Amino acid sequence: MGFKPILAENKIYLIHKTRMKQLLKTYFGYDEFRPLQAEVIEHVLSGKDCFVLMPTGGGKSLCYQLPALKFDGLTLVVSPLIALMKDQVDVLKTNGISAEYINSSLLPARIQQIKEKIVTGKIKILYIAPERLVATKFKNFLKTVNVKLIAIDEAHCISEWGHDFRPDYRNLRLFKSEFPNIPIIALTATATPKVQEDIVKQLSLDNPKSFISSFNRENLAMIVTRKKGAFNKLLVLLQKYKNESAIIYCFSRKDTEAIAIGLQAEGFKALPYHAGLNAEIRKNNQELFIKDEVLIIVATIAFGMGIDKPDVRLVVHYTFPKTIEGYYQEIGRAGRDGLSSECVLFYSYGDVRKHEFFINQMKDYAEQEKSREKLKQIIEYCETVICRRKHILKYFGEEYSFPSGSEDENQKGCEACDICLSPNSLFDATEISKKIFSGVIRTGSRFGRNYIADVLLGKSSEQIVENQHDKLSVFGIIDNFNKDEINQIMKSLIAFGFLQTNTGKYPTISLTTKGVQFLKQNELLELPKAHEDLKEKEEKILRRKMQYNLDLFEKLRILRKQIADQNNVPPFMIFSDVSLQEMARYFPIDKNTFSKINGVGIKKLESFSNKFIDVINIYIKENNLQPVEIPDSFQGGSVGKSSSFSVSDKYLKTKEMLSQKISLAEIAKKQGFQEGTIVRHIEKFISNGDEIDISYLKPAPEKLEKMKTAFEKCGDEKLKPVFDYLKGEYSYDEIRLAHLFYK
């Protein structure tokens, strides 16, 4: 999908968008849309099918909730998450929107009441579970009401290629035949390109438009560390995030119970959550976590899908998950409000064995192979020596460009993963690499890393002697590196494309074409030294926060909890942490200024503002403080907040210079940036719906035509294929600029 410049003549779109923004502020309290939201909403309102892929916390729900307010009938939302339905409906009601859910947790009498409200047009949004569509009676009921939009959440559940296939989702195929003229919006946060295609196919969507948002969650720091002294490392992490919410994922129920008990003994408020607990205990533990009565949940993967808590600041994987999709979905529970949060994964070879044991128990060979491939992919993520953000985004089919604007991965990096936060010094690995390559070749490229390392170190194991590899010339040729160091070097050689891992029950390594060429040529090879451990990394992780009054923030948080308890809802449903931080930064002393705070809609302004304004007025009077003016262009500008577009001085200066028709090169020079960074500023403005005239930056017709042709041939979602197609004739910055004028 191409970015579309919002030029001065595009008045109709702007008027329509202005009306949508009014609804956005009135009901949801936000001044601006997040990236892609406005475009998706516009498409849905036109009555057409679409597929939406946005990361967790990216604002998927709004893409159907806001159109529901414009349609004169019912919006039907299919969700597999019964536990989440109530939370979503409660949030909508708190915002003044009529919504209900129907699922197995309700008694027949209550379901009948809801149906009657639907028939009389008193409900705008109805959530249902996919199993409900099996019942003929319910399907017939839907045909009698004015359904205007169908939204299918967690759409990846319909695909057998996905990580969370649910057979009940196959019932959703009926929508196109039973409701042929009703638009369908399918939404998910985790889907590889293959799964995306399968979703569209399985739902029989009619010529749908795909809206693919970036998988990148800039506010999440991603850390992988050795699982050595793991419990003590966990205590250090939790102390760092004291008084904030955390989720710890474990491999087994036994681990879950043991760690929860251990944390309780250390004085932390922690509870377990796993399928072995009875439903009542699970529900109670989840409720206590949601309401901030307990700050730490220690859980198996059974926990999380039904959680819509936006202020989780830490997610720890005590044992690494079995798929990248699962990992991405689970870390997606952190920082849904856009504030900086941390995701730490403990990795050990022993845990690899645990996963392999369960894979070997599978009776279906095809399923075994599929699981091994998934396991291999997450192991590669854990063992990579390049930026973790770049690695995981590549898995989902997205090329990541570092903040510097450079396509060169040797730049400063993402600044939010352990690899980039602790850049390794390089060492001359030419000789050791040649020895490793020789070891791989001499043993026939039929063995794994550990076996190769043992041969090179001269270890006479039973298997090595039996294979007569103790007779090889490479046996014992390495004496200046230990086994862990040799393994780390092999991981680097795999990451940089000199070696490859082959799939199967017992993964083997072999040389790639690049590795063979290196052996033939007498070139220098430098590789990164081993990474430092978590303790040192933690000191380098900066928690980027908005500057606000911590004392007032705590007072507002206590008030929020009191109001939430009175209304029997989680605190975040009253106001998010983002809203409280802004209150503690700008000190709004009346309803007019309070209404400008991020997340304050009409309903919340009427219901809760007076109590918060009273606390703020008392505090600033006692401390001799003055209110701080909220900028007119203020959009909830928390530092590190990626889920909405934050306006900083640099962005505002860029915007001002664009209005003065200053050249791209000159703007970059004055701002101290590369031209590509300024183009990214423009992309943000356009994505955010700002009215800017960039027509004077339009490339020459001949240039633009060539690049348009390249976009049409290669697609316009990644720059590298276009760059390669054009054989380097145009720089990445030139291509990025042309992309603004494409379509």
pLDDT in tens, 159-187: 877 666 777 888 888 888 888 889 999 99
DSSP class of 417:
B
Contacts of 729 (CB under 8 A, 6+ apart): 706
Higher-confidence residue of 535 and 186: namely: 186
Question: Confidence class of residue 98 from pLDDT cuts 50, 70 and 90?
Answer: very high
- CB-based contacts of 223, cutoff 8 Å, min separation 6: 342, 343, 344, 345, 417, 418, 534, 537, 541
Stronger pLDDT, 182 or 13, i.e. the higher one: 182
Helix (H) or strand (E) holding 508: strand 508-511
Residue 37: both structure tokens together: 């939201």
Return the percentage of the chain with pLDDT > 90, whole number: 29
Q: How confident is the model at residue 12, as a pLDDT?
A: 40
* Residue of higher predicted confidence among 82 and 494: 494
Which single residue is written with the structure tokens 């507002």? 556
What are the two backbone dihedrals, phi and then psi, of residue 22, each rounded to the nearest 5 degrees?
A: -65, -45
Residues facing 502 on adjacent strands = 508
In 3D space, the residue among 739, 697, 688, 743 whose CA is nearest the CA of residue 718 turns out to be: 739
Share of the chain above pLDDT 70, in %: 87
**pLDDT at 472 (0 to 100):** 92
pLDDT of residue 343: 95
Distance of CA 695 to the CA centre of its chain: 34
pLDDT given at position 259: 93
Burial grade of 458 (CB within 10 A; 0-12, 13-18, 19 or more): middle
* Backbone torsions φ then ψ of 503, nearest 5 degrees: -75, 165
DSSP 246-315: EEEE-SSHHHHHHHHHHHHHTT--EEEE-TTS-HHHHHHHHHHHHTTS--EEEE-TTSSTT---TTEEEE
Q: What is the pLDDT of residue 403?
A: 60
Which tokens go with 570? Answer: 């989680």
Give the pLDDT band (50/70/90) at residue 580.
very high
Over range 361-365, report the average pLDDT. 84
Does 277 score more than 80 pLDDT? yes
pLDDT of residue 503: 65
pLDDT of residue 404: 46
Query: Hey, what domains does the chain have and what are their CATH numbers?
Result: 11-212 (3.40.50.300), 220-421 (3.40.50.300), 426-530 (1.10.10.10), 550-622 (1.10.150.80), 649-740 (1.10.10.1390)
Long-range contacts of 708-711, Cβ-Cβ distance < 8 Å, separation of 24 or more: 708/738, 708/742, 710/735, 711/2, 711/738, 711/739, 711/742
Res 3: pLDDT = 33
> 199-227, pLDDT tens digit by residue?
999 998 988 998 888 888 888 999 998 88
Its sign, for the CA torsion 673, 678, 680, 681, is positive
Which of left, alpha, beta for 380 (phi over 0: left; psi -120 to 50: alpha)? alpha
226: left (phi over 0), alpha (psi -120 to 50) or beta: beta
- Given a contact cutoff of 8 angstroms between Cβ atoms, the answer to whether 127 and 136 are in contact is no
Say how far apart CA 260 and CA 266 lie, in whole Å.
10
- Bridge partners (DSSP) of residue 368 are none
Query: How many angstroms separate the Cα of 549 from the Cα of each of 328, 546, 576, 581?
Result: 33, 10, 16, 8
DSSP helix/strand/coil, 648: coil
CA dihedral 510, 512, 518, 524 (to 10 degrees): -80
Digit-coded pLDDT (tens) for 50-67: 999 987 777 889 999 999
Average the pLDDT over 677-690 and give the result.
72
The mean predicted confidence, pLDDT, of the chain is 83
289 Cβ partners below 8 Å, 6+ apart? Answer: 245, 271, 295, 297, 307, 309
Of these ranges, 445-459, 513-527, 648-662, 707-721, the one predicted with the greatest mean pLDDT is: 445-459
3-state SS, one letter per residue, for 185-254:
EEEECCCCHHHHHHHHHHCCCCCCEEEECCCCCCCEEEEEEECCCHHHHHHHHHHHCCCCEEEEECCCHH
In this structure, how many other beta carbons lie within 10 angstroms of the beta carbon of residue 513?
Answer: 10
**pLDDT confidence of residue 85:** 84
The CA-based dihedral angle spanning residues 253, 256, 261, 262, taken in that order and rounded to the nearest 10 degrees: 130
Helices 82-94 and 602-622: angle between axes, nearest 10 degrees: 70
pLDDT tens track for 138-161 = 888 998 999 999 999 988 888 877
pTM of the model: 0.65
Q: Are 20 and 66 in contact (CB under 8 A)?
A: yes
Q: What confidence score (pLDDT) does residue 2 get? A: 34
